[in-house]
Structure 1
Amino acid sequence: MLKTENVYKRLWQYLKNYRGSLFLSVFFKVLSAAMNALEPLIFGLIITEITANVRDMLAGVAGAGINYRYIIMILVIYYIRGTLYSLGSWYANVFITKAVQSTIRDLRNEMSRKINSMSTSYFDSHQFGDMLGRFTSDVETVSNALQQSFLQIVNAFLTVILAISMAVYINPALSLIVIFSIPLTYFSARFIMGKSQPYFKRQAKILGDMNGFVQENLTGFNVIKLYGREDNSEAEFGQIIDDLQETGFKASFVSGIMMPVLSTISNLAYLAVALLGGLQVLAGTLTVGNLQAMVQYVWQVNQPIQTITQLAGALQSAQSSLERIFAVLDEPDELNEVTESLAAPLTGQVRFDQVDFQYLPDKPLIRDFNLEVKPGEMVAIVGPTGAGKTTLINLLMRFYDVTSGAITVDGHDIRNLSRQEYRKNFGMVLQDAWLYEGTIKENLRFGNLNATDEEIVAAAKAANVDHFIRTLPGGYNMEMNQESSNISLGQKQLLTIARALLSDPKILILDEATSSVDTRLELLIQKAMKRLMEGRTSFVIAHRLSTIQEADKILVLKDGQIIEQGTHDSLLADAGFYHDLYYSQFAK
């Protein structure tokens, strides 16, 4: 975990890019703080003058009276002071807002870039909801804290320095009371913040857990209803929010102690200044106006410190959020040491050479795996759950790198190629169809951003989805909603196949591509895929063995090993594992 000072040093690396706005904001805040510091002194001059005039009038001094000319002059000065104070405060807020919002934009952009450069393994091991919380609520917490706290902290330091300076100018002896109250206030606040910070860290973690739980339950809402697990879900959520409530209460309670403690210190300073200052007034060594000014400066010293303590909760939450944000930014990027480049398009010759792989150090999954695929071959991969089918594809796509051995494509070790350049040669259709909010045409063009409308239509026809699209309201321009729930799951699968075909890949990967469609659509897809896989190396993962009977090579995997290999007919003739698996699906 990052130390507090390191967190804020890193935040400064983003803020300093907008030094101009920060400088102007601080400049105007200095102006407003200076005008604020002059207020007690100016009031003191008026009070002192009026008190002296009244005393002379009561004493019967000849020509005694209210010096209206002097008082009006002081009031004009006070009005000018107030105007400058208001202008300084307003412009300080304008420029700090500009700096903060620009900084938060940069932070979000860097997080977005980071997400695109991280390895797949990170997302496999972290809750989606927790990640979403870091990108949304944590960043917003930092934004609010900067917006609310930066100027108030600057104002607090300026106000304290100016107030002490004015107090020393008026009465050095009484100012010692004001100065003594500052370290007492500071160390009291620091002690309480140290006690409350662990609770704020735990609160941020529980919020991430809650986001993950809500996201998972909303995604699987129908399944929860189907199995009648509403009560279980409610109980689990209740446990999370009970923990959040308890931790939030402790965090707020401990940090809330700060205000009464500091108020007590402030009130003691008030009493001391009022008592000793009153004695000096009686002794004639201090004017009534300056006593009033000294009391005001005690308030100007203690009030900013109390304001900072009120912000303690927001600052501590922001610190915890920054730690979570920088934890993401500190994750290592996906290794991409490029030593070779592709001089020509790939032909699709793939070779696995003594490949070993394991997700966890002590649990090997694939061991001494060897395979050679010629350009244009269709390779089907079958086997029980956990056999390593999807893992094999993850290795081929370089979502993970092999533990030992090598995978080569056209003789290139894929670890020596740019991931981005290498993956451009692949088309991939997954079991879970993914479409984003936008038109059907935009979703299809995602496979090739430079594709023309004619090419989009051609790909849709090749995937046997053109007719379906034209029956929709708006056709290719129909808007998909956020969850793509305005078309069926099978229709979404057809669109993702058309999208993959539009990219004109050299290697096709189909991971249960027909598992979500009915028999009629499955036959249409099979006809389209048979035509479209000509000349392309294809890897097909399938549980429906009817879809792979024409494969050039069928690999039967079990426990990360090829236990059988051959064509559909040869494997049936061998009467082995594939034979049993096939007839378990088609037996009468």
Structure 2
Amino acid sequence: MEKESVSSGNIIDWSVIKRLYGFVKPYKTNFYLLVLLTFATAAMSPVRPYLIQLTVDKYIAFNDFEGLLNITLVMIGLLVFHTFIQFYHTYLSGWIGQTIIRDIRIQLYKHLLRMRLKFFDRTPIGRLVTRNISDVEALADVFSEGLAAMIGDLLQIIFLLAIMFWTDWKLTLVSLSTLPLLIASTYVFKEKVKVSFNDVRNAVSNLNSFVQEHITGMNIVQIFSSEKREFDKFKEINREHRKAHIKSVLYYSVYFPVAEVIQAAAIGMLVWYGAKQVIHTEITLGVLIAFIMYIQMFFRPIRMIADRFNTLQMGIVSSSRILNLLDSNENIQNNGTFAPEKIEGRVAFKNVWFAYNDEEYVLKDISFEVNPGETIALVGATGAGKSSIINLLSRFYEINKGAILLDDKDIHEYELGALRSRIGVVLQDVFLFSDTIEKNITLGNPDITLEQVKAAAELIGAHKFIEVLPGGYQYNVMERGATLSVGQRQMISFVRAMVYDPRIIVLDEATSSVDTETEEMIQVAIEKMMKGRTAIVIAHRLSTIQKANKILVLDKGEIKEEGAHDELLALDGYYAQLHKIQYKEMI
């Protein structure tokens, strides 16, 4: 499994911030209110120390009890008002963050639904899960704990500096004497934590990919007794995950005590210098007390700003990865507008070339036609290109050269949903969602009634076994249909294809996973299902395709033979040899 690696870069990508603002625009009223509250919160920070300075110098020093009572009431009122503002600031920033990531997650998932299958072939599912969940959650921090909080901290520093210099510039310079040390340690901390956060993100993504992939393939792991080897791999990835987190914890455990010592040194120097000033009556006691409060309030946002910066930066990294995914041009192009109510079902491949990777062609100059109502069968060894043909017909992949026509019209001219709704596909590997049998058949389509589902199930022969299940059609099949047999899952897939009443039926090894008795029952249903419809059938069992109007024999992406069953036997070629081998096996 390929490990993911990303880099956070050295500076914040403001182009990403600009694009993120596009998601804020629908909620710009609340956003501007948040900015206003941020400004108000920062502006109110120096007021309380200043009021305490007045209390000491003008009321306590002169034993003015009535004035003391009045200014105490003012401070209580200010505290209540400040608390009220902070509440709405915190709530609003969280609301904006969660609302925006809801919109982004919806847009991202919608984008994934339109991606080509080629994209999913080469992208680990765990990585996409990380994009849609972990990275989007990190993006919320940009709004709730990153940008807004960082701007608030900077504003608070500016207001504090303004009032401190206005009150006494000498005392301010003494208070800030240790500031260069704090800035230097903060910069080092920021750089170290930035790297460790980046490692943590990579570790989370790799861990998600590994766990998802190996849980999905657990049967293979157990079949080949690879539990210990895979467990050792997991321990190594988990060790890297732990190592990345411990490194970030180490930087925090060093930085914050150092910052506390630097702040304590600043307060010590302030008290030493300020006390001498008070003794010589150059400043009042209230000013000294206020400055002690100022310096504590000043150092707190500086200590936090490095953490805020890294939170913001990692949110930007996650945003970049999300935006890169949203910007990917691997969407299925759905520019067609033709959506007829009915089609005849005439299919034609005209000199089709196709490669999954570059020019490693798996189909080479394929040409054939199927008239409405006819059945064509595809046979050949594994890797001959049979499944690729049906994948191209439904536009799961795009051809490199040539053309595919449906009713003499290029399939790219059809609206994609209209094209696929006319083609019923039954695959060998049946996928069922963790939901009811009815929902797995209709796929949530409200236009398909339960009566239609039952009618299709009765025709296939699946109604009988579904009815005896607990809850019948409301029975939950669990993840991937784990509570059903292989044959039952295959029969449900037949019902799923039948209920949409497609004009073209595609069967990809559709009966290879069922027993002989079930296959015979399904074959009867298939004959009814294919009546009057165009059918493309892939089958290893040649006995199931002998009635096909035409059989194409494929080998290494090329059509080697074509004709009816008897015609191909008379050629005594590839098909005849394959038939002899299977006939001997049956004997």
After TM superposition, the score normalised by the length of structure 2 is 0.91
Residue 97 of structure 1: how far off its partner (Å): 2.4
Quote the residue 1:62 is aligned against.
none
Partner letter of residue 553 of structure 2?
A: V
Give the conservation status (yes or no) of the 8 Å contact 2:187–2:306: no
**Bigger mean CA offset, 333-342 vs 162-171:** 333-342
Mapped to 1, the partners of 2:479 and 2:458 lie a distance apart of 25
Q: Is the 8 A contact 1:457 1:466 kept in 2?
A: yes
**Secondary structure of 2:349's aligned partner:** strand
Task: Give 2:57's aligned residue.
Answer: 48
- Within-5 A mapping of 1:141-180: 141-144=138-141, 146-176=143-173
Q: Give the equivalent residue in structure 1 for 2:31.
A: 22
Q: Shift of the alpha carbon at 1:522? A: 0.8
Range 272-281 or range 167-176, more displaced: 272-281
Distance 1:312 1:244, change over 3 A: farther
| Matched residue, 1:134 | 131
Alignment of 1:102 with 2:99, yes or no, is: yes
Gaps of at least 5 residues in structure 1 are 54-65
Alignment deviations for residues 129-187 of structure 1 (CA, whole Å, 9 cap, x no partner)? 11112112222233356434455324312321221122122112333456777677556
SS of the residue aligned with 1:8? helix
Give the conservation status (yes or no) of the 8 Å contact 1:507–1:538: yes
C-alpha distance in structure 1 between counterparts of 2:25 and 2:253, whole Å = 32
Shift of 1:253: 3.8
**Distance change (3 Å), C-alpha of 1:483 and 1:409:** closer
Q: Distance in 1 between matches of 2:55 and 2:157?
A: 24
Partners of 2:218 and 2:182 lie apart in 1 by 52
1:297 to 277, 294, 299: 294
Cα distance in 2 for partners of 1:284, 1:323 equals 58
Moved more, 507-516 or 3-12: 3-12
Aligned-partner Cα distance in 1 for 2:147–2:139: 11
Shift of the 545–198 alpha-carbon distance from structure 1 to 2, 3 Å rule, reads farther
- Counterpart in the other structure of 1:308: 305
SS at 1:365 equivalent: strand
- Following superposition, the deviation at residue 313 of structure 1 comes to 5.1
Q: TM-score, normalised by structure 1?
A: 0.91
| Structure 2: distance between partners of 1:202 and 1:155 | 28
Which residue in 1 is equivalent to 2:344? 347
Q: What amino acid sits opposite 1:387 in the alignment?
A: A
Q: 1:303 to 1:562 in 2, by over 3 A?
A: same
Query: Is the CA contact (8 Å cut-off) linking 1:489 and 1:517 kept in structure 2?
Result: yes
Question: Which amino acid is 1:87 matched to?
Answer: F
The residue identity in structure 2 corresponding to 1:378 is T
Equivalent of residue 12 in structure 1, options 10, 21, 35: 21
Q: Is the 8 A contact 2:366 2:559 kept in 1?
A: yes
1:27 and 1:183 map into 2 onto residues whose CA distance is: 31
Q: Does 1:233 align with 2:230?
A: yes
Equivalent AA in structure 2 for residue 545 of structure 1 = L
Q: Secondary structure of the residue that 1:80 maps to in structure 2?
A: helix
Deviates more, 1:276-285 or 1:181-190: 181-190
1:221-268 CA distances to partner (integer Å, 9 max, x unpaired)?
233223211101101111212222333334444566543554455445
Check 1:393–1:134 CA distance in 2 against 1; reply closer, same or farther (3 A cut): same
Equivalent residue, structure 1, for 2:3:
none
Cα distance between partner residues in 2 of 1:19 and 1:488 = 54
Alignment partners' CA distance in 2, 1:114 and 1:462: 37
The one-letter amino acid of 2:31's match is: L
Pick aligned residue for 1:451 from 448, 455, 474: 448
Matches within 5 A, 1:181-196: 185=182, 189-196=186-193
Are the counterparts in 2 of residues 31 and 84 from structure 1 also a CA contact under 8 Å?
no
Give the 5 Å matches for 1:459-474: 459-474=456-471
Give the letter aligned to residue 568 of structure 2: L
Q: Which amino acid aligns with 1:224?
A: V
Alignment partner of 2:481: what SS? coil
* Residue identity matched to 1:11: L
One-letter amino acid matched to 2:431: W
> Which amino acid in structure 2 is aligned with residue 533 of structure 1?
M
Contact 2:431 2:480 in 1 (8 A): no
Q: Report whether the alignment pairs 1:112 with 2:83.
A: no
Residue equivalent to 1:398 = 395
1:215 corresponds to: 212
Structure 2: how far apart are the matches of 1:476 and 1:446?
13
Which residue in the other structure is 1:478 paired with? 475
SS in 2 for 1:338: coil
Aligned-pair distance for 1:44? 1.8
Task: Report whether the alignment pairs 1:530 with 2:527.
Answer: yes
RMSD of equivalent CA atoms: 2.5
Deviation at 1:343, TM superposition (A): 4.7
Query: How do 1:221-370 residues align onto structure 2 when only pairs under 5 Å count?
Result: 221-254=218-251, 257-260=254-257, 262-263=259-260, 265-312=262-309, 314-336=311-333, 338=335, 341-343=338-340, 345-370=342-367
1:178-200 CA deviation, whole Å, 9 max, x = no partner?
67776775565345434443443
| Residues 25 and 94 in structure 1, CA contact (< 8 A), matched pair in contact too | no
In terms of mean alpha carbon deviation, does 127-136 or 189-198 score higher? 189-198
- SS of match in other structure, 1:479: coil
Matched, 1:36 2:49: no
- In structure 2, how many angstroms separate the alpha carbons of the residues matched to 1:447 and 1:350? 29
Counterpart secondary structure, 2:547: coil
Deviation track 1:437-471 (CA, whole Å, cap 9, x = no partner) reads 33222222238531233222211111111111111
Deviation per CA, 1:1-36, whole angstroms, max 9, x where unpaired?
A: 896323333222212322222233343444444443
Q: Classify 1:443/1:504 alpha carbon distance in 2 versus 1 (closer, same or farther; 3 Å).
A: same
Note closer, same or farther for the CA distance 1:378–1:166 as it changes in structure 2 (3 Å cut): same
The DSSP-based 3-state class of the residue aligned with 2:432 is coil
Q: Identify the residue that residue 59 of structure 1 maps to in structure 2.
A: none
**Native 8 Å contact 1:193 1:255 kept in 2:** no
2:512 is matched with 515
Q: Which residue in the other structure is 2:368 paired with?
A: 371
- Percent of pairs identical after alignment? 32
Counterpart Cα distance in 1 of 2:252 and 2:344: 65
Distance 2:239 2:452 in 1: 56
Structure 1 position 352, deviation (Å): 1.2
Deviation at 1:567, TM superposition (A): 2.0
Amino acid at match of 2:449: T
Counterpart position of 2:379: 382
Select 1:585's aligned residue among 570, 582, 585. 582
Match of 2:66 among 62, 66, 69: 69
* Contact map agreement 2:150 2:309 (CA 8 A) in 1: no
Query: 1:543 and 1:208, CA in 2 relative to 1: closer, same or farther beyond 3 A?
Result: farther
Letter in 2 for 1:376: G
Tell me the secondary structure at the aligned position of residue 367 of structure 1. Answer: strand
More off after superposition, 194-203 vs 531-540: 194-203
- Is 1:35–1:82's contact at 8 Å kept on the other side of the alignment? no
- Alignment correspondent of 1:88: 85
Task: Assess if the C-alpha contact under 8 Å between 1:463 and 1:525 holds in 2.
Answer: yes
Alignment-mate amino acid for residue 19 of structure 2: R
- Paired position in structure 1 for 2:119: 122
What is the rounded CA distance, in whole Å, between the counterparts of 1:181 and 1:533 in structure 2?
Answer: 85
Structure 2 counterpart SS, 1:438: coil
